[in-house]
Amino acid sequence: MRISFNVPTLLGRELEYINDALEQKVISGNGKFTALCQEFLSRLMSGSPTLLTTSCSSALEMSTILASIESGDEVILPSFTFPSTANAIVLRGGTPVFVDISPDTLNIDEQLIEAAITPRTKAIIVVHYGGVACEMDQISAIARRHGLLVIEDAAHALHACYGQHPLGSLGDVAAFSFHESKNIISGEGGALIINNAELMSRAEIIWEHGTNRLEFNRGKVDFYNWVDLGSSFPPSEITAAFLYAQLEHSRDATDRRLALWHNYARELQPLENAEKLHLPHPPDHCRHNGHIFYLLAPSSGKRTEWLNRLDQRDVNAVSHYVPLHSAPAGRRFGRTAGSLPVTEDIAGRIVRLPLHLGLSEDDQSRVVDAVRHVAKG
């Protein structure tokens, strides 16, 4: 049987909670399950307020509204990321400025950020690739020196840490994804964490269609009114009910993924020792969450060949991001800060292996055998 790259898995009471939401006869946003998810995530994020969103993309779009990105403003980000990171900038009229990544983490190379800053730079968006933390101490220091906001694209990063600090608690704001491809899922879904208290009152307004409806709900105003930019960012209670059931088991699920990740690392290490491929070695102070297990083929030609040969052995391994700076919209809307040789090299060689909670020991052994076979051949 074919081994899928990803299979969405129920973790517990998803269907029961959806039923519960239906029985309450309120299934639009901001109900009981939204509050439960927001409280759960806020507890994880050292108490920072959380707003549930329809996706990580929409949480990123809220971030760039909050950062007041306007026409001509520049935002620094890696090119090795999903288009949503850059769309959030371009939708506000800003210019994405792409910086190269570091080969050990595939995250933005913090050493290159300062040279990319101009008088138009307003913010830095960091992406914690595969739940491995960016070098947040250095990045926060650069942002403080230059008066920039830091937005964490924490799409991959639930339950991952930088030292003792949970990812998502370190930038001015952070965006999570609960898309079905992530560790914890609700089909589509996301969340915005607001760590900078000065941004909270405006974040609530943006979330609620640009209105002060939450103030009205609290009895603080007599009617609610259109007061700022905004959109329909809250997910329905059906989505939130599903998500809450996942969050309840999110720590266990992360530990199970980590066990699979470490199995791959152990079993494939001899191939790296024999210089057949390269494996990830995240720094010790970046406690990741087993979101992605990747290897690097020796060349992009070999990567294409390996993906085909893995596919012939019924293993659905996949590549990852096409660098944004070389994509048609990236060339049209953005610019690079210098050349991006690491991004271009890694994007051509990366192979992600199947990793999901339904992957049995046998399946994983089959994947390992298939990788041994293609890497030696």
Ligand X SMILES: Cc1ncc(COP(=O)(O)O)c(C=O)c1O
Interacting residue ranges for ligand X, rule: CB under 6 A: 55-57, 81-82, 84-85, 127, 153, 155, 177, 179, 181, 190
Q: Which is nearer to ligand X, 4 or 181 (CB)?
A: 181
Report the alpha-carbon distance of residue 242 to residue 255 in Å, rounded. Answer: 20
Report the alpha-carbon distance of residue 166 to residue 164 in Å, rounded. Answer: 7
Q: Do the Cβ atoms of 321 and 9 come closer than 8 Å? A: no
Amino acid at 279: L
Amino acid at 33: F
- Write the DSSP assignment of 147-160 as a string of letters: T-EEEEE-TT-TT-
Q: Do the Cβ atoms of 200 and 67 come closer than 8 Å? A: no
Query: Within 10 Å of residue 365's Cβ, how many Cβ atoms?
Result: 12
Is residue 16 helix, strand or coil?
Answer: helix
The tally of CA atoms less than 13 A away on the side-chain side of residue 187 is 9
**How far, in whole angstroms, is CA 162 from its chain's centroid?**
15
Residues in the chain: 377
Residue 116 tokens read as 């990319």
Instruction: Tell me which residue has tokens 């001015």.
Output: 172
Residue 166 tokens read as 């949970």
Alpha helices, DSSP H only, in the chain?
14-23, 32-44, 56-66, 83-90, 113-116, 136-146, 200-207, 213-217, 237-248, 250-273, 300-312, 328-333, 341-349, 361-376
Instruction: Tell me which residue has tokens 């990366």.
Output: 350
Instruction: Tell me which residue has tokens 């739940």.
Output: 131
Report the alpha-carbon distance of residue 111 to residue 142 in Å, rounded. Answer: 10
